[in-house]
Structure 1
């Protein structure tokens, strides 16, 4: 059990561990990844199983020419010119209107899925640097809520025991100017990871929150680069289109009717052809990327609110005391004024930021009953360590003289 809960270092085995985050994080690295992979499979099926492009070839083209035209126009980028406009003579203008993304949509979606998973991978690889197997703690807490009373009590006692050892072994044992500077820096800057000051996990988790938020915002700009369109405003434009009551018959971002130029060499002559093509796959692409725009927008709002919430919990140190006090009152462990004073030391000096963070994480992945029992066990260990140990009674010199005189005047 000791090796399971203590002394762990970053390793790839932790990627398959239990939950060590909150539900908003899982919306990003679980739900969003699942959606993107499903969409990638749907688009891939349309490309490789169906017929992703149809081209209107000239009458003189035979079957082989027609097949060549379809294959060439699918591999080479087509370009979009509205039907109300004439096809420009300048080749450069045609190239500027090229659609460059439709062949790569499945790869784009898979790449996005990987980016949404990166913050979670970073968190699971690096949280072990705190010295505590956070995944194991959360897993035991999750199992404790479903076990028998004796089993739950045993698991919670084990968690409390190893948390106590972890908290005690990661305290400063030096007191020089460097240690004092590090301690002051950790108190001022909440993003500084300092294991000895009890801010490693909280600071690391805030950095991961920043990664989640940065990732979802960057998705809009990444799609701008891939699709060569103004994807940032796409959702607002779609809402405006729905409010106007008009249907998006031909989207300039996802056109169904495009043009394709290709050249055929016949002996020493090069003939240039322009054909009109239909991209049925863009019916799926349009709906998928409209849905993803709104999904990314909601995820970005949730990630922003979640980051502000955790920043508030970490920066305002009183939150740790109020959180611990709530559950100690539920457990009826704060009966006297002395207990109330000890509770502040319990939260600020014993648990510190990392200890309170672990308890919060246990609560997110279990129930209030488990938190109450865990804090009750930790409180008992804390009070036991604070109680003065009885010292051996040492008699005074006068008392020793009287004892010696009594022995001298004894029966012998």
Structure 2
């Protein structure tokens, strides 16, 4: 666990010249250091928001205890009505679209991801560290010894020139003898790229197929200043949702209670996943 959390240490520097021997490139380090730290920080942020604040707050019949309806709706998931904008954006939007809640068949879109966001972010952060772990196992002590000589700042120029000469001589006399090492490195770099694409697809499935085009939709919305009911952040991460609670009444009949829920946690989630979307695209572009 200590090795897994090492990228979060304050003394770790992406561009440090005094680090341990490093046998990987800048793009490689962006995966297991920056991306790992980014996703882990997002995981901690969402976790803190859930436990410090109130991730969900529901309004329903006075006969239902507030904590009961909040807990039930948070666990059982909530839903929105894509055909009705009144639940999400008010009566004005509903009038503009001539849509009235309760009229016509209900097309429900359930949102049950928010409880699993911290776990998802944690697992994804670990996935970005795995190629680096594989690469560390694949490296030999000989390779680490080669890199050791030039990885530290040498004040004496003469000593540095001697180390460089030794490095050149080694590479000349052992040219072609590290093909397996190079193959392992290329394989790990390929794993980084494939993992990024995989996490993009997995996140899209996790969010109900609304993540792949999330970034461009948000940018287009912000550029053109569209109506509030067209905000993609509100569509993927709604703040106002609905929940249905059932219980048995005094006569044994099943009673239905509708609750209107405010998902304050989605104010954090929409910003996190917008950042993650753009960062994944950057990683894919650099890894091609």
Q: Tell me if structure 2 keeps the 8 A contact 1:216–1:300.
A: yes
2:130 match = 118
Corresponding residue SS for 2:112: coil
Q: Tell me if structure 2 keeps the 8 A contact 1:264–1:270.
A: yes
Larger radius of gyration: 1
Deviations 1:82-102 (A, max 9, x none): 3245358979x54xx111210
Please give the residue correspondences for 1:364-379 in structure 2 after superposition, counting only pairs within 5 Å.
Answer: none
Corresponding residue SS for 2:150: helix
Q: Tell me if structure 2 keeps the 8 A contact 1:229–1:253.
A: no
Q: Does 1:146 align with 2:121?
A: no
Q: Does 1:98 align with 2:110?
A: yes
Structure 2: unaligned runs, 5 residues or longer: 8-19, 87-93
2:217 match = 237
Distance across 1 between alignment mates of 2:57 and 2:138? 50
Identify the range of structure 1 (199-208 vs 273-282) with the bigger mean alpha-carbon deviation: 199-208
2:277 match = 293
Distance across 1 between alignment mates of 2:123 and 2:103? 35
Corresponding residue SS for 1:228: coil
Q: Tell me if structure 2 keeps the 8 A contact 1:235–1:294.
A: yes
Corresponding residue SS for 2:110: coil
Higher relative contact order (CA 8 A, sep 6+): 2
Please give the residue correspondences for 1:175-190 in structure 2 after superposition, counting only pairs within 5 Å.
Answer: none
Please give the residue correspondences for 1:54-93 in structure 2 after superposition, counting only pairs within 5 Å.
Answer: 54-61=57-64, 65-81=65-81, 82-83=85-86, 84=94, 86-87=101-102, 93=107
1:390 match = none
Q: Deviation of residue 159 (structure 1)? A: 5.4
Change (3 A) 1:297 1:257: same
2:28 match = 25
Q: Tell me if structure 1 keeps the 8 A contact 2:217–2:232.
A: no
Q: Deviation of residue 147 (structure 1)? A: 4.0
Query: How well do the aligned residues superpose, as a CA RMSD in angstroms?
Result: 2.9
How many residues are treated as equivalent by the alignment?
Answer: 253
Please give the residue correspondences for 1:260-275 in structure 2 after superposition, counting only pairs within 5 Å.
Answer: 260-267=243-250, 268-275=252-259
Q: 2:143 aligns with which of 134, 147, 172?
A: 134
Structure 1: unaligned runs, 5 residues or longer: 1-11, 169-195, 305-412
Distance across 1 between alignment mates of 2:278 and 2:151? 33
Deviations 1:301-324 (A, max 9, x none): 0111xxxxxxxxxxxxxxxxxxxx
Q: Does 1:220 align with 2:220?
A: no
Q: Deviation of residue 134 (structure 1)? A: 2.3
Looking at secondary structure, tell me which structure has more helix per residue.
1
Q: Tell me if structure 1 keeps the 8 A contact 2:39–2:125.
A: yes
TM-score (norm 1): 0.55
TM-score (norm 2): 0.77
Please give the residue correspondences for 1:44-63 in structure 2 after superposition, counting only pairs within 5 Å.
Answer: 44-61=47-64
